[in-house]
Amino acid sequence: MTLELVNVSRTVNAASHLRDISLRLENGSLNVLLGATLAGKTSLMRLMAGLDAPTTGRVLVDGRDVTGLSVKKRSVAMVYQQFINYPALTVYENIASPLRLQRLPRAEIEARVNEAARLLKLTPYLERTPLALSGGQQQRTAIARALVKRADLVLLDEPLANLDYKLREELREELPRIFASTGAVFVYATTEPTEALLLGGNTASLMEGRLTQFGPTAQVYRHPADLATAQVFSDPPLNALRVVKSGGTVLLESGAVVPATGALATVPDGTYTVGVRAHHLEVETVARAERDHRPGIIRLGARVAVTEVTGSESFLHMDMGTADTGSADAGHRLTALLPGVHRLEPGAPVEVLIDPRHILLFDAAGNNTGTALGAAA
């Protein structure tokens, strides 16, 4: 099955939920809808399923217009964030329930349920009721019930959001394998860039009801078409700095002036937004005896605002300014993701190091300039 959305928009009570989205999903593909809460992920899924109709535009399945076709007449299965199981039924009966509604032969029901249970490692729990299961096992049951229908389109709306970290990691590893064994069109909504990268496949980046980019997940991450996509696909948030390139210098909005070194030297004069992901920022304390003298490195003065130690990593939030003079502008916040434990006191002067090869460069309109500065992933 091929699912195609053609210029679809959705307006509810004068509020625009989706705006002019065109998207084509191929048979057997895994497609991630990535965006913040209220970006339009669920609204888009509801249009795909036939639960809602677009205000404008068309929905096509294998080239046939199904825009007004009821969800009951479509081959669709859906898994939600909340566990939706029948508490009085066993796991086996929960999984079998849509097949019994279809009045399939008993032997086929048994074969399908056992296959889905095997894929989702539920075989030992088939005679239990959902309340006797862990949260992860309950969500596996809901996913198995969706898979067993053998629908052409399977929609998963943040299905792991309510699970604890360990269970999420376990299911994230298993889902691509499960998806690959079916051949349906899978659509998986998430707010987490890391989850999109782990799942792979294709990613559609959504912001405020707009589709900003669609393509292979790694490509969208490494080569965002615009600033909006880069912001959607960055966690921690993308460090975005407005700059003016003039001759051999770069003037930052904070007032700092740095040399236009390396690949930046070839960028035409003009106004840009420089994007740097948190894990590409390096940080040195001003008191460090040996400075990093790698050629081309951009150095910015800053002061520590907040340090968050998560265990194996530390988030360092800094206010830009000039470390040597002690000034800092809280309106220009940078966030670095550093390996290991770093406990720096608020107000401590630091220098932030940026390798130009890791810069994403956007023009005044927010579009990627296409300037190949290096490996910005």
Distance CA 58, CA 210 (A): 16
Residue with tokens 């790694």: 218
Using left for φ > 0, alpha for ψ between -120 and 50, and beta otherwise, residue 256 falls in: beta
Q: What is the pLDDT of residues 264-276, one digit of tens each?
A: 888 999 999 999 9
Q: What is the pLDDT of residues 350-362, one digit of tens each?
A: 999 998 889 999 9
- Say if CB 356 and CB 262 are below 8 A apart: yes
Distance CA 333, CA 73 (A): 51
- The DSSP output letter for 332 is E
Domain coordinates in residue numbering, the chain: 3-232, 239-362
Distance CA 360, CA 333 (A): 17
pTM: 0.90
**Separation of CA 368 from chain center:** 19
The residues near 283 (Cβ < 8 Å, ≥ 6 apart) are 316, 318, 336, 338, 342, 350, 351, 352, 353
Distance CA 47, CA 19 (A): 13
Alpha helices by DSSP H, 62-203: 91-101, 106-119, 135-148, 165-180, 193-199
Structure tokens at 73: 């007449």
Which residues, listed in sequence order, are joined to residue 308 by a DSSP beta bridge?
315
Q: What is the pLDDT of residues 207-258, one digit of tens each?
A: 999 999 999 999 999 999 999 999 999 999 999 999 999 999 999 887 888 8
Q: What is the mean pLDDT of residues 87-97?
A: 96
CATH 2.40.50.140 applies to domain 239-362: yes
Q: Of 55, 193, 333, 92, nearest to 203 (Cα)? A: 193
Could you give the count of Cα atoms lying within 13 Å of 279 in the half-sphere of its Cβ? 9
Q: What is the pLDDT of residues 323-370, one digit of tens each?
A: 444 444 445 899 999 999 988 999 999 999 998 889 999 999 999 997
> H/E element holding 219?
helix 217-222
Distance CA 327, CA 302 (A): 8
Per-residue confidence band for 376, with pLDDT thresholds at 50, 70 and 90: low
Per-residue confidence band for 292, with pLDDT thresholds at 50, 70 and 90: low
- The DSSP output letter for 280 is G
Q: What is the pLDDT of residue 52?
A: 95
Q: What is the pLDDT of residues 37-77, one digit of tens each?
A: 999 999 999 999 999 999 999 999 999 999 989 898 999 99
Residue ranges with strand state E in the chain:
3-12, 15-25, 30-34, 56-61, 64-65, 76-79, 153-157, 185-190, 202-207, 210-216, 239-246, 249-252, 257-259, 270-276, 281-285, 298-309, 313-322, 327-339, 349-354, 360-362
The two beta strands, 257-259 and 249-252, are antiparallel
Structure tokens at 217: 């997940």
Distance CA 122, CA 100 (A): 19
CATH architecture of residue range(s) 3-232? 3-Layer(aba) Sandwich (3.40)
Spell out the long-range contacts of 97-102 with Cβ–Cβ below 8 A and sequence spacing 24 or more: 97/145, 98/145, 98/148, 98/149, 99/148, 99/149
